[in-house]
């Protein structure tokens, strides 16, 4: 067997337990996680936390069945000021993930609370159609998983257990949730029993064991229904057109000043490090395009 064939796929696996009100999701990230890390030189503690953020973003996107963009954004006042992960759905070949961190010096902490020194976690759901939703969670627990469990308990009022881990080679997550409709629940002890089974999972299993083998190991005595998995990959939403639109939003006077002082603009995406250059001619075309549009300011979409 070749090395390529032994690489576990990046995917989310949904499952539920028949005759109960319990469902779950399992995610493992290998290549997409490495694609994020290879674009930056983060300290080990940040790499591990970003892996957990990526796994959590994938799990939550599947949980809410979002068709759009889900963003997890942890902000604090510690050595690390920002940890951010994003999942974009409906892309060709599966959902796409990206992540970024901002920090100063060599972070001394290891867990989420120490690295950010408190702060808050913002969960943003931005569907392609429909209204944008944002929830805020206090970063008052040592781990991201514990903070998210608190969010589901207080905001969604759904008993939820979450396990997250990352070892700089792979990231993974397991989510277990009790559904509100238990009218067909014939197994009243299912939630406690299945939660205890999940609590036996090891880091090695969560990150590096084949998903079907892992589910069998945990739930071989349960009646488990497994759905087709869907794939995940690294992907960035940046483009030259988006950068040009951002420059256009600066307005004619500011762009003209940049043109006179610098003659050109060179920038890069913070997520994927792709460089974009706009020459004097490019900036002039952006300015002229703004003039030709003749749109009143209040007609812009917000």
pLDDT digits (tens, 9 = 90+) for 55-74: 999 999 999 888 999 999 99
Do both 253 and 204 map to the same domain?
A: no
Rounded distance, CA 46 to CA 152, Å? 25
Among 183, 217, 234, identify where a domain stops. Answer: 234
Identify the pLDDT of residue 183: 65
Q: Is residue 27 part of a domain?
A: yes
pLDDT digits (tens, 9 = 90+) for 187-213: 888 999 999 999 999 999 999 999 999
Identify the pLDDT of residue 297: 40
Identify the pLDDT of residue 5: 36
Do both 190 and 46 map to the same domain?
A: yes
What is the CATH number for 171? 3.55.30.10
Coil, strand or helix: which one is 103?
strand
Do both 123 and 254 map to the same domain?
A: no
Q: Looking at the predicted structure, is the pLDDT value of residue 90 above 80?
A: no
Q: Is residue 299 part of a domain?
A: no
Do both 193 and 91 map to the same domain?
A: yes
What is the CATH number for 290? 3.90.1280.10
- Alpha carbons within 13 angstroms on the beta-carbon side of residue 280 total 6
Q: Looking at the predicted structure, is the pLDDT value of residue 135 above 80?
A: yes
Q: What is the mean pLDDT of residues 162-173?
A: 96
Do both 227 and 253 map to the same domain?
A: no
Do both 173 and 202 map to the same domain?
A: yes
Do both 225 and 254 map to the same domain?
A: no
**Which of 47-61, 143-157, 267-281 is predicted most confidently?**
47-61
Q: State which residues form the domain around 198.
A: 7-234
Considering only residues 216 and 240, tell me which one the structure prediction assigns the higher pLDDT. Answer: 216
Q: What is the mean pLDDT of residues 16-38?
A: 95
Identify the pLDDT of residue 171: 97
Q: What is the mean pLDDT of residues 175-194?
A: 84
Identify the pLDDT of residue 1: 27
Percent of all residues in the chain with a pLDDT value above 90, rounded to a whole number: 58
Among 234, 264, 280, identify where a domain stops. Answer: 234
Considering only residues 278 and 127, tell me which one the structure prediction assigns the higher pLDDT. Answer: 127
Q: Is residue 300 part of a domain?
A: no
Identify the pLDDT of residue 2: 31
Question: Which residue, chain included where needed, has tokens 């890069």?
Answer: 268
Percent of all residues in the chain with a pLDDT value above 70, rounded to a whole number: 91
Among 218, 234, 250, identify where a domain stops. Answer: 234
Q: Is residue 2 part of a domain?
A: no
Rounded distance, CA 218 to CA 212, Å? 10
Do both 266 and 229 map to the same domain?
A: no
Do both 129 and 27 map to the same domain?
A: yes
Identify the pLDDT of residue 301: 28
Radius of gyration of the chain measured on its C-alpha atoms = 22
Do both 139 and 246 map to the same domain?
A: no
What is the dihedral angle through the alpha carbons of 98, 102, 108, 113, rounded to the nearest 10 degrees?
-70
- Positive/negative CA dihedral, 210, 213, 218, 223: positive
Q: How confident is the model at residue 110 (pLDDT cuts 50, 70, 90)?
A: confident
Identify the pLDDT of residue 276: 84
Say if residue 180 is exposed, middle or buried (CB neighbours under 10 Å; 0-12, 13-18, 19+).
exposed
Q: Looking at the predicted structure, is the pLDDT value of residue 6 above 60?
A: no
Q: Looking at the predicted structure, is the pLDDT value of residue 302 above 70?
A: no
Alpha helices in the chain (DSSP H): 3-6, 31-37, 44-64, 112-116, 144-151, 190-198, 203-208, 211-219, 240-248, 252-261, 280-293
Domain count, the chain: 2
Q: Looking at the predicted structure, is the pLDDT value of residue 186 above 60?
A: yes
Identify the pLDDT of residue 184: 64
Do both 37 and 106 map to the same domain?
A: yes
Q: What's the Cα-to-Cα distance from 15 to each of 93, 141, 146, rounded to whole Å?
A: 21, 28, 22
Do both 116 and 252 map to the same domain?
A: no
Provide the whole-model pTM: 0.85
Average model confidence (pLDDT) across the chain: 86
């Amino acid at each position: 067997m070749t090395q390529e064939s032994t690489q576990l796929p990046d995917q989310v696996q949904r499952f539920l337990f028949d005759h109960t009100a319990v469902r779950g999701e399992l995610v493992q990230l290998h290549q997409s996680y490495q694609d994020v890390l290879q674009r930056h030189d983060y300290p080990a503690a940040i790499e591990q936390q970003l892996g957990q953020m990526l796994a959590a973003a994938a799990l939550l996107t599947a949980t809410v069945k979002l068709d759009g963009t889900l963003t997890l954004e942890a902000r604090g006042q510690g050595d690390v000021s920002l940890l951010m992960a994003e999942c974009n759905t409906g892309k060709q070949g599966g959902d796409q993930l990206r992540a970024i961190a901002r920090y100063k010096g060599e972070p001394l902490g290891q867990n989420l609370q120490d690295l950010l020194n408190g702060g808050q976690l913002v969960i943003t759901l931005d569907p392609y159609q429909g209204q944008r939703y944002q929830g805020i969670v206090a970063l008052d627990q040592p781990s991201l998983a514990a903070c998210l469990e608190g969010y589901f308990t207080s905001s969604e009022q759904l008993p939820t257990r979450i396990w997250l881990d990352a070892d700089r080679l792979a990231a993974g997550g397991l989510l277990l949730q009790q559904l509100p409709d238990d009218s067909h629940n014939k197994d009243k002890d299912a939630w406690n029993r299945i939660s205890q089974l999940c609590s036996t999972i090891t880091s090695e299993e969560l990150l590096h064991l084949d998903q079907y083998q892992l589910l069998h190991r945990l739930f071989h005595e349960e009646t488990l229904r497994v759905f087709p998995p869907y794939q995940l990959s690294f992907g960035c939403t940046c483009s030259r057109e988006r950068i040009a639109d951002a420059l256009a939003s600066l307005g004619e006077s500011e762009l003209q000043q940049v043109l006179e002082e610098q003659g050109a603009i060179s920038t890069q995406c913070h997520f994927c490090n792709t460089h974009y250059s706009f020459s004097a001619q490019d900036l002039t075309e952006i300015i002229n395009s703004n003039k030709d549009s003749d749109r009143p300011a209040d007609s812009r979409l917000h």
